Amino acid sequence: MTWPDAVYGVLRERDTRQFAYVPDSGHRRLIDLAHDDPDVRAIPLTCEEEGVGIVAGAHLGLSRAVLLMQSSGVGNCVNFLSLIQHCAFPFLTLVTMRGEFGEQNPWQFAMGRAVEPTFHAMRVATLRADAPDDVVPVVEAAIGMVDRGGQAVAVLLGQRLLGAKKFGQ
């Protein structure tokens, strides 16, 4: 089983019912699995910030959600993360990283470098996974922090794990 399939299993074992996402190739398998699963809602977003609101709303409704996004969308979330912090919502997001290991598109570096400072400014903890064997234990750790510990946690899926996109070849 590949790590995306294993992560999907972990998220479903957690009873995640809403998968809000802005598409990214690194999340493609998770997004496909969510769309194919009759017991969950796959929710395409126009902007990542909507996913923050949806995760909060699902929690109010006694359910669980996750936000899937790419690093380039983290800055879009800041205003809505004030809702997470002020109300102490448990919050889980999985972020595929760009603008780091092997990045060839110079447009990606600015937001890639800002991901961790942005999350930390909004009091969202970050955990990283950079190798396939890391991913499931890191996601499980994050779920424990979120669902038991009541924290806001972003799992950063490193570009070394995902593979850098090749340009000009």
Partner 1 sequence: MDRREAVARLLGDSGALVVTGLGNAANDVAALTDQGDHVFAMDGAMGAAVSVGLGLALAQPERRVVVVTGDGELLMNLGTLATVAVQQPANLTVICLDNAAYELTGGQATHTAHGVDLAGVALAAGWPAALTVGGPGDLDAARKLVDADGLAFVLVKVDPGNTPYDRLDRNGQSIRLRFRRALAGDAHLD
Q: What residue ranges bind partner 1 (CB under 8 A)?
A: 17-18, 20, 41, 43-47, 49-63, 65, 79-80, 82-83, 86-89, 150
Minimum distance from residue 38 beta carbon to partner 1 (Å): 14
Closer Cβ to partner 1, 51 or 99, answer by number: 51
Closer Cβ to partner 1, 6 or 63, answer by number: 63
At residue 85, the 3 state secondary structure works out as helix
Give me 60's structure tokens. Answer: 């109010």
Minimum distance from residue 69 beta carbon to partner 1 (Å): 14
Beta-sheet strands, E only, within 84-151: 91-96, 125-129
Distances, alpha carbon 58 to alpha carbons 64, 78, 152, 154, in Å: 6, 19, 14, 17
Closer Cβ to partner 1, 65 or 74, answer by number: 65
At residue 62, the 3 state secondary structure works out as coil
Minimum distance from residue 66 beta carbon to partner 1 (Å): 11
For residue 52, give every residue at least 6 positions away whose Cβ sits within 8 Å of its Cβ, in sequence order, or none.
67, 77, 80, 81, 83, 84, 91
**CB-based contact 92:54 (threshold 8 Å):** no
Minimum distance from residue 8 beta carbon to partner 1 (Å): 19
How far is it, in rounded angstroms, from Cα 163 to Cα 35? 24
Minimum distance from residue 34 beta carbon to partner 1 (Å): 13
Closer Cβ to partner 1, 48 or 100, answer by number: 48
Closer Cβ to partner 1, 3 or 89, answer by number: 89
